Structure 1
Amino acid sequence: MNILIVYLGRKGGGAHYTYELVNELSKKTNVSLLVSKQAENIKSYESLNISLNTINTFNGMFSFILSSFKLPFIKNKIKKIILDEKIDIVISTMTHVWNGFIFTPNFMMKIPYILTIHDAVPHSGEGNFILNLLNNKDIKNANAYIALTEHVKNQFINIYGDKKDICILPLGSFNFKSGEIKSWCGVRPLRILFFGRIHEYKGIDLLLDSMIILQEKYDLELSIYGQGDLSDYVDKIDVIKKINIENRWIGDSEVGDILQAHDVCVIPYKDASQSGVIPVAQSAGLPTIVNPVDGLIEQIEKDKTSLVTDRVDSVSLALSIEKIIKNPELVNKLSIGSLEYASRKLSWVPIVNKLITYSKETLNSSDRS
């Protein structure tokens, strides 16, 4: 079976997901990869033992407009790849604004197209009519689907109907640095990390409010690493005594050291399909605190890898952080649990085995129809 994996994004979690998936997949079957020439991790793709194909996409609105006029030529290039490499099935690891115009039923020549759904419903504060329209076009073109959590699968079925063929493939580990068992003695400040892009749904306000509550009684430090608009949170940030902010895109080479420098990672999301930060933290042995949000609780084991707040609010989050402050041994316990969970649940081997089986089933189903 010859598989073409497609990822046209340039950076972020989708790029790491694609790399890890293809890296393991290439050990078991024939894999070709189609990515953006502008991908930030293009060097890591080049290190893989696969057929690597690139196309020019864009890196801003102006280049997006110019590049979109070249779509007919890009489609011809992709069709040549499919024919020359005798591709049996195409798998997109994430939706892209161009996908819906490229991988149409006529273009695919009866070759099955599997689409990975990261979010079935837009996050709070992220609604975009045009983007949703383009994503829906991509979804309608696909023959089968991959969801990363049961929560996303259920949302997808509620919107598009239960006749859709959906396979759940959880996120695997992202190893930016070898995991290590952490400990915190309670003498120095507890070092708390928020990591990832800044969005309304990620609950930065809840985390800041919890810090304001706790800093009156305890010595603790907060670090925020991620790109995005923090202007709505300036008033809260200004009253936090110990805070470090790196409000920028964080390069891959920095991630391991950032995780290593902290005692706990807080995922204060108000809603979520899943979080790529959770497996990153687990693989590093970094304990996590999460809100009781459907997509997140599928990725953790309560009181083994993570503490789960009682509710999605700042008081509950403060109480969970306080639990660690009052019980420093929890850092060590949750760190050990996270590393054990990563070795048991986050291996890409079973994930890829399941993907191969699902691809064969999709291919056979397509042949019968």
Structure 2
Amino acid sequence: MKVLVWQWSRLGGPPRFGVLLARALAAQPNVSAALSLSRRAQLPPEMMAESELLVDTYRTVPGFIGRVLRAPLDLPRLLPRVRAIGPDVAVCAQPGPLDLLMATALRRLGIPFVVLVHDAELHPGDGMPLQMPLQRALCRGADAVGALTGHVAAALQAQGLAGTAGRPLIRVSHPPLAFDMPQRADRAPGPRRLLCFGRLLAYKGLDLLQEALLAVGPRDDLVVRVVGTGPETPVLDALRALPNVTVENRWVPEGEVGDLLGWSDALVLPYREASQSGVAAAALAAGRKVIATQVGGLVEQLGGRPGALLCEPEAESLAEAIRTLLAQPPDFTPPADASAAWNEMAATLVQQLVPVIRGRHAPTLADLSPSARAP
């Protein structure tokens, strides 16, 4: 089985997700994988070098509109490049606005494809214009649609996009995301370092964090960093006014994520809604404790994990979780085995790709016996 993984986002966790998925698929018996990334993806050079098919995407909304208008010209150039890779099946590793171009090429070539969905609905303030209509059109054209949590799976089924006779639902999990972190000796005495990292948007519950820190009160044993990018709001100003709290409203480059995780003792996810969390996945791989609200897919992702403290999406419940953290010894949790988790996820995905291929091709192409095509 040869799998083409494509992920055409530039920023954030999805490009890394695509690289790690392709690596894990390639490690499966009798499976080979090819990778297609955006030429503008913010990834380390060694990850970019793994892409067999780099594509030009966009940086701005006008750039996106221009790429859409150019699609009829881009398709003839994309077709031979995909044909040369020769995949049996393709996997969209979290969709973006330009993925219908690849879907059209795959349809022309008779190659089935699967879409792994991160968000079934846009969170307030997230996304590009028309992103959800484009995502749903992509899913309606797919041979199967996958979800990383039961929360998202239920939403996709309610939308009629997955779990139908012609479009089965694929279930996999979101493995831990490992970043290169600085070497750190045993923790020196000092205040507990709590990190809130990610998009600084309303649904991330920054108001809950501000109210919870007020309830906790000034403490010499706690420092908090709120780091990410978003609009300036009164909530950010209120957080800045709290003692021992700093707010850094800026984009965090890929190469700095490991340093942020290395600084922290624990991460706080005070979200009001969530599908799942790449930040939580990074915290698990880094061996950091996590305080998170019980919303969306976070319960499924973090429930039962060592070092995870789950609370209600209410300020007092969040404050109590912070107090509980401060009462615990200032140690780290064992890092999750990210490599093993990715291999397990890829094995589960491969099992569910077999019937997708059989539905489009002769069964022998999907057969995972030793006679099948190997890497």
Establish whether TM, by shorter chain, passes 0.5.
yes
Checking the alignment, whether the CA contact within 8 Å between 2:274 and 2:295 is kept in structure 1 is yes
Shift of 1:129: 6.8
**Partner letter of residue 322 of structure 1?**
R
Q: How far is 1:106 from its partner?
A: 8.2
The partner residue of 2:349 within 344, 355, 360 is 355
Deviation at 1:144, TM superposition (A): 0.4
Alpha-carbon distance in structure 2 between the residues aligned to 1:68 and 1:263: 44
SS at match of 1:249: coil
- Aligned: 1:312 with 2:313: yes
> Which residue is equivalent to 1:146?
146
Structure 1 gaps, min length 5 = none
CA deviation after TM superposition for structure 1 residue 183, in Å: 7.5
Change (3 A) 1:283 1:230: same
Query: SS of the counterpart of 1:222?
Result: strand
Contact residue 281 and residue 288 of structure 1 kept, 8 A = yes
Q: Is the 8 A contact 1:6 1:93 kept in 2?
A: yes
**Correspondence list, 1:209-248, <5 A:** 209-216=211-218, 219-248=221-250
Measure the CA separation in 1 of the matches of 2:251 and 2:34.
29
Shift of 1:122: 2.3
* 1:268 corresponds to which of 261, 267, 270: 270
Matches of 1:189 and 1:305, distance apart in 2: 18
Q: Secondary structure at the match of 1:367?
A: coil
Contact 1:112 1:142 survives alignment (8 Å)? yes
User: 2: CA distance between counterparts of 1:5 and 1:355?
Assistant: 12
Q: Contact 2:149 / 2:173 at 8 angstroms: preserved in 1?
A: yes
**What amino acid does structure 2 have at the position aligned with 1:82?**
V
Matched, 1:366 2:369: no
1:1-369 residue pairs with structure 2 within 5 A? 1-28=1-28, 29-41=31-43, 43-48=45-50, 52-104=52-104, 107-124=107-124, 126=126, 130-160=130-160, 162-163=163-164, 164-177=167-180, 188-216=190-218, 219-302=221-304, 304-309=306-311, 311-325=312-326, 327-329=327-329, 331-332=330-331, 335-336=332-333, 338-339=334-335, 342-343=336-337, 347-367=341-361
Letter in 2 for 1:195: F
Higher relative contact order (CA 8 A, sep 6+): 2
Question: What is the DSSP-based 3-state SS (H/G/I as helix, E as strand, rest coil) of the residue aligned with 1:221?
Answer: strand
Q: 1:353 to 1:182 in 2, by over 3 A?
A: farther
Q: Is the contact made by 1:180 and 1:284 (CA closer than 8 Å) also made in structure 2?
A: no
**In 2, distance between residues paired with 1:220 and 1:106?**
53
Large movers: runs of 4+ above 6 Å: 179-185
Question: In the alignment, residue 239 of structure 2 is paired with which amino acid?
Answer: I
Matched to 2:235, the amino acid is Y
- CA distance in structure 2 between the partners assigned to 1:200 and 1:130 by the alignment: 21
Distance 1:34 1:128, change over 3 A: closer
Cα 1:183–1:302 shift into 2, 3 Å: farther
Letter in 2 for 1:176: F
Closer, same or farther: CA 67–42 of 1 in aligned 2, 3 Å: farther
CA RMSD of aligned residues (A): 2.7
1:32 is paired with a residue whose SS is strand
Report how far residue 356 of structure 1 moved: 1.8
Return the alpha-carbon distance in structure 1 between the equivalents of residues 27 and 323 of structure 2.
45
Sequence identity of aligned pairs in percent?
Answer: 24
Matched residue type, 1:236: A
Give 1:126 deviation, angstroms: 4.6
C-alpha change, 1:324 and 1:83, in structure 2 (3 Å) is closer
Q: Distance in 2 between matches of 1:268 and 1:258?
A: 18
- SS of the residue corresponding to residue 146 of structure 2 reads strand
User: Aligned AA for 2:92?
Assistant: S
> What is the TM-score of this pair, normalised by structure 2?
0.87
Distance change (3 Å), C-alpha of 1:303 and 1:359 = closer
Output one character per residue of 1:144-167: Cα deviation in whole Å (capped at 9) or x when no partner: 012111111111111216314112
CA distance in 1, matches of 2:85, 2:134: 28
Q: Contact (CA 8 Å) 1:112, 1:143: kept in 2 or not? A: yes
Work out the number of aligned pairs and report it.
Answer: 358
